Amino acid sequence: MDTASIAGHVNDGNSFHFPFHCHFDLPMIEIFGYQVQITKFMVIEALVAILMILFFVPLASKIKKGEPVRGRFSNLLEVFLLFIRDQIARPCIGHGADRFVPLLWTIFFFILGLNLFGMIPGFGSPTASYSVTAVLAVIAFLTVVLAGSVKLGPVKFWLSQVPHMDVPFGLGYILKPLLFVIEVFGLFVKHFVLCIRLFANLFAGHLVLAVFTSFITAAATGWLLWTAVTIPSAALCIAISLLEIFVAFLQAYIFTFLMSLFIGMARHPH
């Protein structure tokens, strides 16, 4: 894999470039009279959504009917589902956590699927694009605000951003408005960090792969130098690729965990 193909993992486009000179252009379709270009990231996101439906709808149907879950892959999926519910949602959100579990499941596996597609040559990593992670962060923000507003009421939710303080008479009229502005700003910043954290980790991994691969190209001046550079560079690329697989799971977990934590903070302010 050359530097251009690795860099293409973090860039959207209107075509796919697979190894061995396989090239596929994506069509432009018309929606409500507007011309819309189908992009690479749009296709990957649709593929992840389709795979989630194919994997989880039959599993949910079996569980709903009371049938035992059989098969290593089905049991693996069930382990992930139970882990998110019992180790993330319920401890972070507390009472009423189960109503948020389907959304958290969807977010986790959607991010995980996008991350893993980034490891396949010729595809790409949509989560290494800030436009994709920004949409995920907006979904998390709206969920947090809605969860807090439903639990506490819209007015009380925003007022609860200011913690209770025992201050001398008159001083509260100065401190509380300032704290309200700071806390509301912090609410936006926390979700902005969700966007940047996911984007930066995935983007950095592909960037490091591109750098190590570029060493091989730069050393193509003689077979001795090329051999001396290629072997350690290839070994480092393999090691970083394995690390990227771990990061794909880790970042999906961190996003889901922080989203659950923010929902719990919105529903149970202290």
Give percent of the chain with pLDDT exceeding 90: 34
Q: What pLDDT was estimated at residue 98?
A: 92
Strand, helix or coil for residue 129? coil
Inter-residue contact 257 to 150 (CB < 8 Å): no
Structural domain including 166 reads 3-20+77-267
Run of H or E including 117: helix 101-117
28 located within any domain: no
- For residue 238, which amino acid is it? I
Q: How far is CA 25 from CA 17, 20, 124, in A?
A: 9, 16, 15
Q: What pLDDT was estimated at residue 218?
A: 60
231 located within any domain: yes
117 located within any domain: yes
* Listed residue (267, 269, 268) closest to 144, CA to CA: 267
Q: How many domains does the chain have?
A: 1
247 located within any domain: yes
Q: What pLDDT was estimated at residue 28?
A: 82
Q: What pLDDT was estimated at residue 208?
A: 75
DSSP E strands in the chain: the ranges are 15-18, 22-25, 28-31, 34-37
228 located within any domain: yes
Sign, CA dihedral 248-254-259-264, equals positive
Inter-residue contact 118 to 125 (CB < 8 Å): yes
Q: What pLDDT was estimated at residue 83?
A: 94
Residues of the chain with pLDDT under 50: 1-4
142 located within any domain: yes
Q: What pLDDT was estimated at residue 71?
A: 84
* Listed residue (193, 202, 83, 82) closest to 140, CA to CA: 193
Query: What is the pTM for the complete model shown?
Result: 0.85
- For residue 193, which amino acid is it? V
Inter-residue contact 104 to 89 (CB < 8 Å): yes
29 located within any domain: no
Angle at 262 between CA 161 and CA 41, to 5 degrees: 130
86 located within any domain: yes
**Strand pairing partners for 31?**
34
> DSSP string of 50-81?
HHHHHHHHHHHHHHHTTPPP-SHHHHHHHHHH
At 148-193, the pLDDT tens digits run: 999 989 888 888 888 777 767 777 777 888 888 898 999 999 999 9
Burial environment of residue 114 by CB neighbours within 10 A (0 to 12, 13 to 18, 19 or more): buried
* Listed residue (228, 230, 207) closest to 217, CA to CA: 230
